[in-house]
Amino acid sequence: MNALSASAGSPTSPLLRAAPYLALICSMTAFCVGTSYGKQLFPAVGATGAIAYRVGFSALVLLVLFRPWRQPLTRADLFATMRYGAVLGLMNLSFYLAIRTIPLGLAIAIEFLGPLTVSLLYSRRPGQFAMVAMAAAGLALLLPWRETPHSLDPAGVGFALMAGLCWGLYIVFGKKTTHLPGGQAVALGMSTAAIVVVPIGVVGAGTALLTPSLILVGLVTAVLSSALPYSLEMIALKQIPANRFGVLMSLEPAVGALAGVVLLGEHLVALQWLAVALVVAASVGSVLLGDARPKLPVPQ
C-alpha cells in the first residue's frame, strides 16, 4: 500500500471525518429534491395521489430492505409501531396538502414547530421557552394577518401546522419503539402509514395513478424523499455527536427554501426569509440547550 492510499484509509483522514456530514447533507438535499419532484405530480394526480405514490413505494422499498417479519413482535410492540406509523402517514398527508398552496421551505419551517414544542415539554428549561418564542415569532411573520400579495393561504398554513402536530406525536409515539430494531420499526411504521394514506390517494386520483410515466416519477420521489434520506441519516447518526446532528438537521427549512427557489421557482420575500431564519435559529438553540439527544429521524 502506498503512502497516499494509507493516508486515505487512516481513521483521521479528512475524507473519513467528513463522510457522515456529507451523508447528512445529502439526506436533507435528497428529501427536499424528492419533495419537489413530488409536488410536480400535483397537476396530474393531486396532492393525495402524490403522497400515495411516495408513502406506498417507500413502504415497499423499506419492507424489501429490512424484512421486518424476521423479528417477532409482541402485541404491545405491534400496537406501538402501528400507532406511530399512523401519525407518520397523517404527517406526510398534511405536509403534501400544505405544499399545494404554500412554498416548500415555509411549510417545513411551520412544521418544525412540532418537534420544538415537544422539546419544550420534555425540557422545560427557561432557554427552551425563549427558543419556542423565537419560532413563534417566525410563524407570526408567516400567518396571513392581512391580505397582501405575499400572504400565505390560510388552509396551507393550517395543514402545515397539522403536519407539525403529527411530527410531535410521531416523536412521542416513536419513543415507545426505540427498543426495536430501527429497520423493523420504520418498515412496519411506513407500511401502516401506507394503509392510512394510499386509499385516500386512490379515491382522489383514481386510474391516473396507473399511468406508467407517473408511476416512475412516483417511485423516484419515494426513493429520494424517504428511503435514501433515512438510510443516509442512519449512517450519519452512528458517527456524528447527537447535539451536532440535531443542529445540522435544524437547517432543513433553509435547505427546503433553497430547493423551492431552484426547482420550483418559489421565490420568497425578505420577511419570509427572516421567518425561516428565526425557525432555524430556534431549532438550533433548542438542540444546544437540550439533553444532547437528537430528534428521531423522520422518514417523510
- Per-residue confidence band for 207, with pLDDT thresholds at 50, 70 and 90: very high
* Full domain range(s) for residue 105: 20-289
8-state DSSP, 177: G
Residue 87 counted as domain residue: yes
**Longest C-alpha distance within the chain, in Å?**
68
Residue that has been written with the C-alpha cell 431564519 in this structure: 277
Residue 182 counted as domain residue: yes
Residue-wise pLDDT for 98-144, tens only, equals 999 999 999 999 998 888 887 777 766 777 788 888 888 888 888 87
Residue 162 counted as domain residue: yes
34-66: b (≥16 Cβ within 10 Å) or e: bbbbbbebeebbbbbbbbbbbbbbbbbbbbeeb
What lies within 8 Å, CB to CB, of 244 at 6+ separation is none
Helices (H), ranges, 175-269: 182-205, 212-222, 228-239, 242-249, 252-264
Residue 188 counted as domain residue: yes
- Per-residue confidence band for 12, with pLDDT thresholds at 50, 70 and 90: low
Residue 298 counted as domain residue: no
Q: How high is the pLDDT of residue 1?
A: 44
CA angle, 198 then 62 then 184, to 5° = 110
8-state DSSP, 292: S
Mean pLDDT, the chain, rounded, equals 83
Residue-wise pLDDT for 62-72, tens only, equals 898 888 888 88
Residue 249 counted as domain residue: yes
- Number of separate domains in the chain: 1
pTM: 0.85
For the ranges 87-96, 108-117, 153-162, the lowest mean pLDDT is seen at: 108-117
Q: How high is the pLDDT of residue 291?
A: 55
Q: Under DSSP, is residue 178 helix (H, G, I), strand (E, B) or coil?
A: coil
Residue 97 counted as domain residue: yes
Residue 238 counted as domain residue: yes
